[in-house]
C-alpha cells in the first residue's frame, strides 16, 4: 500500500525502491499514483529552492519540478541522503539551467526582434520592442497554463497536444506569408519559435496526439530543418508525413484528419479563452478560414 509522504519532505523509501524495480513503473497509471504520493515532498523542496531565484521565476520553476524529479528518479540513493536533500540538489541545478536558458533566449529575442522588425508578416512585426515581445510571451504562456490538460485515458485524440503543435505550425505559416521576406543569415526560426515565442513546458514536450504516438518534442525536432529552410512553412501534408515516418508507418495520419483534429482543438481552446486574448494572441496564428470552420469550433466549444 502506498504511503503518502509527510510534510517535512520525506518519503516511504521502501515504496520508492519497490517502484523503481517494478517492471510496470513506466505505465501512466502507476506513474500518476506514485507522483501523487511524492508531490507534497517535491513541491516543498521546489518552493524552497525556487525562492533563491527570485519571485519572477518561482511559479514556473515549481511547476516544472515534478517532471524534473520524475526524470531523475533512478538517481535517488537512500543510502547517500534523504529524499529532501536529493530533490534540493537536483532541482537547484535544473532550475539554474532553466534560468540561464531563458536569459539566453531573451538576449536572442532582442537581436531577432531588431533584425526581423524590418520584415513584413513576421512575428516581430508585433514586437517592435523587446519588452512588448516578452509581455506577449508571458501572457500566452499564462493562458496556456490555464487551459492545459492531460489526456483522459480514452483512445480519443489529445486535443491540447494538437493545439500546441498547431500553434507552432501557425507561426511558421505567418512568417512565410510574405514572399519577399528573407530571414537573416544563420538565423534559426525553429529556435526563435521554441525559445522566444511559443515555449512548451517540459511535460508538454512529452505529450502525444494519442497514446504510443511520437511525442511533441520528437515531432518538432523532426520539423526543425523544414522550419529553418525557405519557405519556412509547415503544411499539413508534410507534418503528417513526418509523424508517420517517426511512427514507422504504424500510425496513419492524413492531412484531412489533421485538419479535423486542429479545428476541434482550436474550438476547444477558444471556448476557454477570453475573446480579447484570443483575438490578440491566438487568432493571428489560427485565423478563421471559413464560416464552416467557425461553426465547427462553436459546436465543439458548446460540447465541452
Phi-psi region of 156 (alpha: psi -120 to 50; beta: other; left: phi over 0): beta
Q: Tens digits of per-residue pLDDT, 60-119?
A: 778 888 888 888 887 888 788 888 888 888 888 888 887 777 666 666 555 555 554 544
Q: What percent of the chain has pLDDT over 70?
A: 69
Cα–Cα distance, 180 to 114 (Å, whole number): 18
pLDDT band of 294, cuts 50, 70, 90: very low
Cell digits for 63?
511547476
Q: What is the mean pLDDT of residues 128-137?
A: 68
pLDDT surpassing 70 at residue 200: yes
- The C-alpha cell 486535443 sits at 159
Which pLDDT value is given to residue 271? 93
Which pLDDT value is given to residue 114? 54
The contacts of residue 227 (CB under 8 Å, 6+ apart) are 172, 189, 190, 193, 234
Q: What is the mean pLDDT of residues 244-252?
A: 86
169: buried, middle or exposed (CB in 10 Å: 19+, 13-18, 0-12)? buried
pTM of the model: 0.63
- The C-alpha cell 520525506 sits at 10
Between 68-77, 122-131, 265-274, the lowest mean confidence (pLDDT) is in: 122-131
Q: 266 versus 231: which is more confidently predicted?
A: 266
Phi/psi of residue 194, each to 5°? -75, -30
**Closest to 200 in 3D by CA, of 245, 237, 168:** 168
Which pLDDT value is given to residue 272? 94
Which pLDDT value is given to residue 54? 74
pLDDT surpassing 70 at residue 123: no
pLDDT band of 132, cuts 50, 70, 90: confident
Q: What is the mean pLDDT of residues 232-238?
A: 90
Buried b or exposed e, range 11-21, using 16+ CB within 10 angstroms: bbeebbeebee
Cell digits for 253?
495520419
pLDDT surpassing 60 at residue 205: yes
pLDDT surpassing 80 at residue 171: yes
Which pLDDT value is given to residue 74? 79
Q: Tens digits of per-residue pLDDT, 7-22?
A: 334 555 556 656 655 6
Which pLDDT value is given to residue 48? 87
CB atoms within 10 A of CB 257: 13
Amino acid at each position: 500500500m502506498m504511503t503518502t509522504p509527510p510534510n517535512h519532505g520525506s518519503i516511504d523509501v521502501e515504496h520508492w525502491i519497490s517502484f523503481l524495480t517494478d517492471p510496470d513503473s513506466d505505465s501512466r497509471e502507476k506513474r500518476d499514483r506514485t507522483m501523487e504520493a511524492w508531490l507534497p515532498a517535491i513541491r516543498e523542496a521546489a518552493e524552497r529552492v525556487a525562492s533563491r531565484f527570485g519571485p519572477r521565476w518561482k511559479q514556473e520553476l515549481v511547476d516544472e519540478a515534478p517532471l524534473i524529479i520524475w526524470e531523475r528518479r533512478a538517481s535517488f540513493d537512500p543510502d547517500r541522503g534523504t529524499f529532501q536533500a536529493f530533490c534540493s540538489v537536483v532541482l537547484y541545478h535544473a532550475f539554474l539551467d532553466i534560468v540561464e536558458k531563458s536569459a539566453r533566449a531573451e538576449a536572442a529575442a532582442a537581436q531577432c526582434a531588431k533584425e526581423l522588425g524590418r520584415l513584413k508578416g513576421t512575428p516581430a512585426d508585433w514586437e517592435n520592442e523587446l519588452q512588448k515581445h516578452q509581455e506577449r510571451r508571458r501572457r500566452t504562456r499564462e493562458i496556456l497554463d490555464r487551459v492545459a490538460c492531460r489526456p483522459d485515458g480514452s483512445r480519443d485524440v489529445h486535443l491540447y497536444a494538437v493545439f500546441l503543435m498547431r500553434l507552432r505550425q501557425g507561426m511558421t505559416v505567418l512568417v512565410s506569408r510574405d514572399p519577399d521576406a528573407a530571414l537573416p543569415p544563420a538565423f534559426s526560426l525553429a529556435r526563435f519559435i521554441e525559445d522566444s515565442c511559443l515555449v512548451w513546458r517540459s511535460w508538454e514536450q512529452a505529450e502525444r496526439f494519442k497514446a504510443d504516438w511520437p511525442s511533441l518534442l520528437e515531432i518538432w525536432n523532426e520539423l526543425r530543418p523544414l522550419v529553418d529552410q525557405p519557405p519556412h512553412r509547415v503544411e499539413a501534408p508534410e507534418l503528417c508525413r513526418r509523424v508517420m515516418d517517426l511512427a514507422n508507418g504504424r500510425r496513419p495520419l492524413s492531412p484531412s484528419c489533421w485538419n479535423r483534429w486542429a479545428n476541434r482543438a482550436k474550438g476547444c481552446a477558444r471556448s476557454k479563452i477570453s475573446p480579447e486574448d484570443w483575438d490578440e494572441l491566438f487568432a493571428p496564428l489560427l485565423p478563421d478560414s471559413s464560416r464552416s470552420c467557425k461553426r465547427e469550433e462553436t459546436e465543439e466549444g458548446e460540447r465541452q
